[in-house]
Homo-oligomer: A and B are copies of this chain.
Amino acid sequence: MSPTALRRATSAPTSATPPTATGAVASAGTATPAVPASPLTSAGDVLRRCRELTAPALVEAIEGLHPWVAEMAGYALGLREADGTRVEHASGKGVRQALAVLGAEVVRGPARAGVPAAVAVELVHTFSLLHDDIMDGDALRRGRPSLWKAYGTGPAVLAGDALFALGVETIAVTPHAGSAIRQLTTAFGDLVSGQADDLLFAERPWTGPRAVGVGEYVTMAERKTGALLGCALALGARLAGAPDRTVARLDRAGRHLGVAFQIADDVLGIWGDPNITGKPVHGDLRQGKKTLPILAALDAAPGGGELAELLAGAGALDAAGVRRAVALVEATGARTRAEHAAHHHLTEARTLLTSPHLAPGPAAELNTLLGALSERTV
């Protein structure tokens, strides 16, 4: 996104999901899209097309699980309610499955070649959300009780484990299983490292030699958020037979997208409209979370000054403290610096996706999706 676009998203709310379906969307239940993808397709349409392409394989994979575990998996994936009834419209956007399908298409492979990658990354992503909710004690996920709240911690741990194994298994039956699985486990290893760093950041001071640097933050975000986005694109391309160089290029693009997305999330967490973000205003600040705008502000003020004192104070900030902290962050220019950083990483991703070797239609769709993701309009 451009800094202006991100600024727009933080001030002028737009409709969260385009409600109209177009002719480019396959009808439910068919395995291939009825009409070839068009560069004019909206991000919402791209996501819907890829979800519909992936859904049958995803449902089939889950049905092979132990019935109770399958019920939990269906709930976690937004396909079923806790009482087992089917959900008409799955609640997840399915960003990772879309990247996997587009990863196959952008290297001129058939969309179906990317489907096992789409299933695998969606399962691994859902698994990581399940375990994240347990780690963070989050009781809500997409407006419903999180799985551990609905079924208990033990069963939720078990269901997560099963989803991860199923994701790996989905890839193990594809050609070149070895390299494809290494792609997935490497990404997952990075995700674990990013998650571990994020947990450790919480224990570290705001200032001094042990303070978290902006560079460390970017590395954490690349691992925690970018690794699986990169893996989705790369794995789709790999299963479609792309050469290693192209696979690596797409992986890097997805990682940059992850950093852009994470920083945009941090900016919206402070200046965003809660009607768009769905999060409480200033929740991150109140919880003392080490987000990029804050780290950049502390970086700009030697010793951290008043902001550092405010943050290091005992307990959570009150409303006046939060207002003062936001004013101090803005005064250092850290908001602009964060917006520029997000823009930089999005541009890097777009540059990597600009290549005469890539199919122009899917590349255009990827660009649309990247913009919408960073602006949080899908």
The answer to whether A82 has its CB under 8 Å from any CB of chain B is: no
Given B128, B135, B169, which contacts A153 in the complex, CB threshold below 8 Å? B135
State how many angstroms separate the Cβ of A164 from the closest Cβ of chain B. Answer: 7
List the B residue with the shortest CB-CB distance to A136. Answer: B154
Query: Which residues, 161 to 190 on A, are CB-close (under 8 Å) to B?
Result: 161-162, 164-166, 168-169, 172-174, 177-178, 181-182, 185-186, 188-189
Stretch at the interface among A35-43, A196-204, A264-272, A321-329: A196-204
Stretch at the interface among A13-21, A64-72, A301-309: A64-72
Q: How far is the CA of A200 from the CA of B67 in the complex (A)?
A: 11
Q: How far is the CA of A135 from the CA of B156 in the complex (A)?
A: 9
Q: Are B169 and A186 in contact (CB under 8 A)?
A: yes
Given B155, B185, B200, which contacts A165 in the complex, CB threshold below 8 Å? B185
Q: Are A164 and B164 in contact (CB under 8 A)?
A: yes
Q: Are A188 and B165 in contact (CB under 8 A)?
A: yes
| Given A66-B192, A189-B65, A192-B162: A157 touches B134 (CB 8 Å cut-off) | yes
Q: How far is the CA of A178 from the CA of B176 in the complex (A)?
A: 8
Which B residues are CB-close (under 8 A) to A153? 134-135, 153
Q: How far is the CA of A174 from the CA of B173 in the complex (A)?
A: 16
Q: How far is the CA of A196 from the CA of B178 in the complex (A)?
A: 29
The answer to whether A2 has its CB under 8 Å from any CB of chain B is: no
Which B residues are CB-close (under 8 A) to A172? 177-178, 181-182, 185
The answer to whether A34 has its CB under 8 Å from any CB of chain B is: no
Q: Are A168 and B193 in contact (CB under 8 A)?
A: no
List the B residue with the shortest CB-CB distance to A134. Answer: B157
Q: Are B158 and A196 in contact (CB under 8 A)?
A: yes
The answer to whether A125 has its CB under 8 Å from any CB of chain B is: no
Q: Are A178 and B189 in contact (CB under 8 A)?
A: no
Q: Are A166 and B189 in contact (CB under 8 A)?
A: yes
Given B160, B174, B185, which contacts A169 in the complex, CB threshold below 8 Å? B185
Q: How far is the CA of A188 from the CA of B66 in the complex (A)?
A: 12
Which B residues are CB-close (under 8 A) to A277? none
Q: How far is the CA of A173 from the CA of B182 in the complex (A)?
A: 8
The answer to whether A195 has its CB under 8 Å from any CB of chain B is: yes
Q: Are B168 and A181 in contact (CB under 8 A)?
A: yes
The answer to whether A131 has its CB under 8 Å from any CB of chain B is: yes
| Given A169-B185, A189-B165: A158 touches B195 (CB 8 Å cut-off) | yes
Which B residues are CB-close (under 8 A) to A195? 158
State how many angstroms separate the Cβ of A84 from the closest Cβ of chain B. Answer: 15
Which B residues are CB-close (under 8 A) to A166? 185, 189
Q: How far is the CA of A179 from the CA of B327 in the complex (A)?
A: 58
| Given A65-B189, A177-B178, A196-B68: A161 touches B162 (CB 8 Å cut-off) | no
Q: Which 6 A-B pairs have the closest CB atoms?
A: A177-B178, A135-B154, A169-B185, A66-B193, A172-B181, A162-B192
Name A's B-contacting residues (CB within 8 A): 65-66, 68-69, 128, 131, 134-136, 153-155, 157-158, 160-162, 164-166, 168-169, 172-174, 177-178, 181-182, 185-186, 188-189, 192-193, 195-197, 199-200
Chosen A-B contacts, 19 in total, with CB atoms closer than 8 Å, are A65-B189, A68-B200, A131-B157, A135-B153, A135-B154, A135-B155, A153-B153, A155-B196, A155-B199, A158-B196, A164-B164, A168-B168, A168-B181, A169-B181, A169-B189, A172-B177, A172-B181, A172-B185, A178-B178
Given known contacts A68-B200, A128-B161, A131-B158, what 8 new A-B pairs fall within 8 Å (CB)?
A: A135-B154, A136-B154, A158-B196, A160-B161, A165-B185, A168-B181, A172-B185, A174-B178
